């Protein structure tokens, strides 16, 4: 995926200067940058969130059905249990066979099963992130966008969840783009780096 001459501005204030950005399929693509550098806005742009224009003409985003997007601020049904939330993701997953993906099954058994009957609204922020990251990994999309998915997740669980995200790219050949402030969590993983 390539974005040419990407510019992000609010009013007359330019947040991201014109640049070309390439994201590689089959590889974990990470975006880093200082707070306010436009990382989340770039993901919103790719996902077609809000309105975008080229030369003053509004862009219609027909590709958005092929995108899974986990926002930095978690959105979920607070009264659904973890098990119900995972079932909801599974109902949207279109033929993703988790039995052939042992990492998904291992993450479910060790991280999610102990929380199965807990309502999402009672989980910590890190636990919510893990459930939603797992759920997004169940979806069968062409492009996956993750905005700070390890926010609030302890290091042991973050390692497992990052392996799940990496597996989307390396084992399933998908284009995966992740915003992070914590490149050190990716030690030992191969990734393509875009710095804003």
Q: What is the pLDDT along the chain (196 residues), one digit of tens a residue?
A: 777 666 666 667 666 655 788 899 999 999 998 888 778 888 887 887 765 555 555 655 555 568 888 887 777 789 999 999 988 888 876 555 555 566 667 777 778 888 889 999 999 999 999 999 988 888 888 899 999 998 889 888 888 889 889 988 888 889 999 998 888 888 878 788 988 8
Residue 29 lies in a domain: yes
CA dist 184 → 25, 100, 111, 159, 163 (Å) = 22, 29, 22, 11, 14
**Number of folded domains that form the chain:** 1
Residue 17 lies in a domain: no
Q: Say what the pLDDT of residue 28 is.
A: 93
- For the four alpha carbons of 180, 39, 193 and 69, in that order, the dihedral sign comes to positive
Q: Say what the pLDDT of residue 10 is.
A: 64
CA dist 85 → 2, 102, 182 (Å) = 33, 20, 27
Q: Say what the pLDDT of residue 97 is.
A: 58
SS3 118: coil
Q: Say what the pLDDT of residue 54 is.
A: 55
Rounded to whole angstroms, the Cα distance separating 117 from 170 reads 32
SS3 101: coil
Rounded to whole angstroms, the Cα distance separating 52 from 64 reads 13
Q: Say what the pLDDT of residue 55 is.
A: 53
Q: Say what the pLDDT of residue 141 is.
A: 87
Length of the chain: 196
Residue 146 lies in a domain: yes
Residues β-bridged to residue 6: 19
For residue 138, give every residue at least 6 positions away whose Cβ sits within 8 Å of its Cβ, in sequence order, or none: 86, 89, 90, 92, 93, 96, 98, 104
Rounded to whole angstroms, the Cα distance separating 190 from 160 reads 16
SS3 53: strand
Q: Other CB atoms closer than 10 Å to residue 186's CB: what's the count?
A: 19
- Domain housing 184: 24-33+63-195
- State the CATH number of the domain containing residue 141: 3.40.50.300
pTM of the full structure:
0.82
Residue 166 lies in a domain: yes
Residue 116 lies in a domain: yes
SS3 116: coil
Cβ atoms of residues 145 and 23 within 8 Å:
no
Residue 7 lies in a domain: no
Residue 115 lies in a domain: yes
Q: Say what the pLDDT of residue 92 is.
A: 77
Residue 67 lies in a domain: yes
């Amino acid at each position: 995926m390539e974005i040419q001459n990407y510019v992000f501005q609010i009013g007359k204030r330019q947040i991201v200067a014109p640049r070309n950005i390439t994201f590689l399929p089959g590889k974990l693509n990470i975006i880093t940058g200082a707070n306010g550098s436009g990382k989340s806005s770039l993901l919103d742009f790719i996902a077609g969130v809000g309105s975008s224009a080229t030369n003053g003409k509004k862009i219609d985003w027909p590709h958005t059905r092929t995108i899974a997007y986990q926002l930095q601020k978690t959105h979920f049904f607070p009264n659904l249990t973890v098990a119900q939330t995972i079932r909801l993701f599974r109902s949207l997953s279109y033929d993703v066979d988790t039995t052939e993906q042992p990492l998904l099954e291992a993450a479910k058994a060790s991280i999610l099963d102990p929380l199965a009957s807990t309502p999402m609204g009672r989980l910590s922020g890190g636990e919510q992130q893990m459930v939603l990251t797992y759920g997004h990994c169940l979806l069968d999309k062409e492009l996956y966008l993750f905005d700070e998915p390890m926010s609030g997740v302890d290091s042991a669980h973050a390692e497992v969840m990052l392996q799940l995200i990496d597996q989307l790219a390396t084992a399933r050949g998908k284009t995966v783009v992740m915003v992070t402030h914590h490149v050190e969590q990716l030690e030992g993983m191969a990734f393509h780096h875009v710095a804003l």
